[in-house]
């Protein structure tokens, strides 16, 4: 329930989209990574396996814990998990305003133009990890 609340608060609610708590969490191809601080869930990331490829989705950090390196650590751990599972490429769809964040962590933009994506329909770009985390 805490992961649902965090994702809702950070990824959806600020954009006025109707609430829908079906995040597909039961998908057996998913790996859920979380950050916990003093018993509180402060970060979340999801890795989905599909035919040797890894997709990172729903990266969220509590508003009061952002800009402290939690998102970076969580994302790098998610890429490490993907590599441990032998997934290549590892990709994500980044909101355009977050593109620089992912670039700093070794992702490169591979889509030609931004495209609407997800529940918000906001402009996103496809990015792939060039990091070979071991």
Residues 82-133 pLDDT 10s: 999 999 999 999 999 999 999 999 999 999 999 999 889 999 999 999 865 4
Three-state DSSP class for 5? helix
Q: What percent of the chain has pLDDT over 70?
A: 97
**Looking at residues 29-38, what average pLDDT do you find?**
96
Q: For residue 49, name the pLDDT band (cuts at 50, 70, 90).
A: very high
Q: For residue 134, name the pLDDT band (cuts at 50, 70, 90).
A: very low
Could you list the beta-strand ranges (E) of the chain.
Answer: 30-37, 40-50, 53-61, 90-95, 107-109, 115-117, 122-129
Distance separating alpha carbons of residues 71 and 44, to the nearest angstrom: 8
């Amino acid at each position: 329930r805490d992961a649902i609340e965090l994702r809702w608060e950070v990824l959806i609610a600020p954009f006025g989209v109707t609430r829908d708590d079906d995040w597909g969490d039961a998908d057996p191809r998913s790996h859920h990574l979380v950050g916990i601080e003093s018993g509180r869930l402060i970060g979340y990331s999801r890795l989905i396996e599909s035919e040797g490829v890894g997709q990172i989705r729903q990266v969220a950090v509590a508003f009061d814990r952002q800009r402290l390196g939690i998102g970076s650590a969580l994302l790098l751990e998610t890429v490490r998990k993907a590599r441990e599972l032998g997934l290549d490429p590892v990709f994500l769809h980044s909101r355009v305003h977050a593109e620089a964040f992912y670039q700093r962590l070794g992702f490169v933009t591979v889509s030609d133009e931004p495209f609407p994506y997800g529940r918000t329909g906001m402009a996103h770009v496809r990015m792939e990890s060039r990091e070979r985390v071991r």
